[in-house]
Amino acid sequence: IAGATTNDTAHSVDMAVAAAEVGMDAILAVVPYYNKPPQAGLDAHFRAVAESVELPIMLYDVPGRTGRRLAIETTLHLARDVPNVVALKDAGGDPAATAELLAAAPEGFEVYSGDEPLSLAFAAYGAVGVVGVSTHWSARIQRQMWDAVEKGDFAEAARINATLLAGYRYMNSDICVFSQSVKVAMGLLGVEVGECRLPLGPAPMGTVDHARSVLVGLGYDV
């Protein structure tokens, strides 16, 4: 899935077309950030991206970073009217809204958690998976949780989720944002990704020890 994630519709269309030309399987299209478009503008933006390619489109709602929430009504309008708008990455942080959306969504429209601490709650409402951050180091374990959900074994899913909580806390704090925490964890796992560029910059002191503690808790030898 390639990102067509800008706050400029024309640029987003260009990115989607380029992704299609190099053989990507789908497009992730974020709510345009900073300029806070009205819902009618969001509808038109996503339609333009979807109509530019034949690939499936996953909408991405993350109001904490974009400054604008994708309304339930807008999401449903797109899901019903635009054939290749097929999914939502939901990082809206509002489980009640997610439940309302899933209750009204057309058949075949899928919701993925974009906020791992809420994944299990979203699963109870009918979400089908996660597009995550801590999945960089815990994808297999999170897959086991979703497998348990698919089997209807929410007790087992809750048990697995409990093993992931320390990683959820690690990935975001007031002093270390997820881009920094991911790079540190992946470095400990042998993936040379370097440090974040400014304005994020290097991870703060203590992050390596914190990451190592999380990874050891998941069974890694680091």
Per-residue pLDDT of the chain (222 residues; tens, 9 = 90+): 999 999 999 999 999 999 999 999 999 999 999 999 999 999 999 999 999 999 999 999 999 999 999 999 999 999 999 999 999 999 999 999 999 999 999 999 999 999 999 999 999 999 999 999 999 999 999 999 999 999 999 999 999 999 999 999 999 877 889 999 999 999 999 999 999 999 999 999 999 999 999 999 999 999
Domains of the chain: 1-132 (3.20.20.70)
Which is catalytic among the residues 60, 112, 168, 170?
A: 60
Q: Is 89 assigned a catalytic role?
A: yes
> Which pLDDT does position 74 carry in this prediction?
99
The DSSP string of the chain is: -EE---S-HHHHHHHHHHHHHTT-S-EEEEPPPSS---HHHHHHHHHHHHHH-SS-EEEEE-HHHHS----HHHHHHHHHH-TTEEEEEE-S--HHHHHHHHHHPPTT-EEEESSGGGHHHHHHHT--EE--STHHHHHHHHHHHHHHHHTT-HHHHHHHHHHHHHHHHHH--SS--HHHHHHHHHHHTT----PPPTTT-SPPTTHHHHHHHHHHHTT---
> Which pLDDT does position 107 carry in this prediction?
96
Q: Is 60 assigned a catalytic role?
A: yes
Which is catalytic among the residues 34, 89, 168, 220?
A: 89
